[in-house]
Structure formats: structure tokens, C-alpha cells
Amino acid sequence: TATNQANISFVIDYTSDANCAIYMDEHAQAKIKVESGSRFSIKGENTKGKEGQGIQLGKTENTGIYVSGNSEFLIDGTNRGYVNSPEVKVENSTFTVKNCTSNASNGGNFTAVNSTINFENNAALGLSTNSLNSINSTFHLNQNGYSGLVINGNSNIDGTSKVYINGNCKGYYLYGAFFCGAPTTFKSGST
């Protein structure tokens, strides 16, 4: 837990044969919490063509990333951002995954409330999620090599939310800039 304006940062250089910045053990039911004005970042260096990720989960049960209280979460330039489907909840905060040399995310359930979400300039997928639920939040899902947004489960985006999906599929036309694999409700007033 990062709390009370804490500033936690990791730099991972893939020439050192490191596989990931954080490995969340399946037995620990690990959770990353960033709250009350804190900042949490993972910066990757020399990641192109390498395997590795910012955050890797052993198993997803009872694991997740929780950002709240005017806090900031950033993954920048790792090979993959976060993988193996953690639950992500962002409230009154900013959540960014950018410049990954492969996928920015992989599955999980994503909830945003009164927040700004950025998945930009990743070489492959931007935001890939099982479900997306949003209240009064803004999403910037731009300039990713594959789809900017992939949703595979039931989702709800309320009328006060905005989702911008621009300039994606630069490197490969996977499903389209926005792919919905299940019913998604955009409520009246959403952009």
C-alpha cells in the first residue's frame, strides 16, 4: 500500500535478464493499493523484443490493483504492462499504461469512477478487459498498434463518461479499434 502522498517507483532494465518488476504470488492474494495522493510507477528500459512485464500475477483470484484518492498509477515502457487479468479499480485518480513494446494489459475487470484512464502508444493492445464499468470517467485509448479497447464481457459505461479511441490498429488490424465480445451498454449522454 502506498498512502499519504507516498512516491514509489521501479525502474526495470531488461538487459539485466529481469523478467518483471513485480510478481504477485498466487498464494499471497496480493494487492497493490495506491491511495490518498500517492504516486506509483514502473518504468521499463531496453524492452523491445524482450519478454517481461511491469506486473505479473501467478493467479488472479483475490488479486488486484486499486488506485484512489487523487493518486496516480503509471506503467511506462515495459514489454507488457500488466498480465494475467488482475481486477483494476480506479476512483478519483489517474491510471496510465503507455509505451509498452507489446500489450499494455490482459483481461481482468476494470472499474473507473471519477477518473482519467490512459492507454496510449502501446505496440499491441491498449485496454483489454473482461468487463469495463465506468462512472463519470474519461478514457484516452489512442495510438496503440492493435485495438485500443477490447471488452470480452458485460460492461456499463454511464452517460457522464467519455471514451476516446483514436489512431489505433497502426501495426495490425486484430479486431478493430474497438472490439466488443459481449453486450456493452453506453448510457445516454456518453461520448
Tens-place pLDDT, residues 77-122: 999 999 888 899 999 999 999 999 999 998 889 999 999 999 999 9
Q: Sheet of 109-113: strands edge to edge?
A: 31-34, 64-68, 87-91, 109-113, 131-135, 155-157, 184-186
Residue of 25 and 125 predicted with greater confidence: 125
Work out the average pLDDT over 14-43.
87
Tens of pLDDT, residues 115-167: 999 999 999 999 999 999 999 999 999 999 988 898 888 888 898 999 999 98
Residue of 62 and 185 predicted with greater confidence: 62
Residue of 48 and 95 predicted with greater confidence: 95
Smallest Cα–Cα separation from 89: which of 73, 75, 104? 73
CA–CA separation, 64 and 191 (whole Å)? 28
Percent of all residues in the chain with a pLDDT value above 70, rounded to a whole number: 87
Decide if 140 contacts 163 (C-beta within 8 A). no
Work out the average pLDDT over 7-34.
85
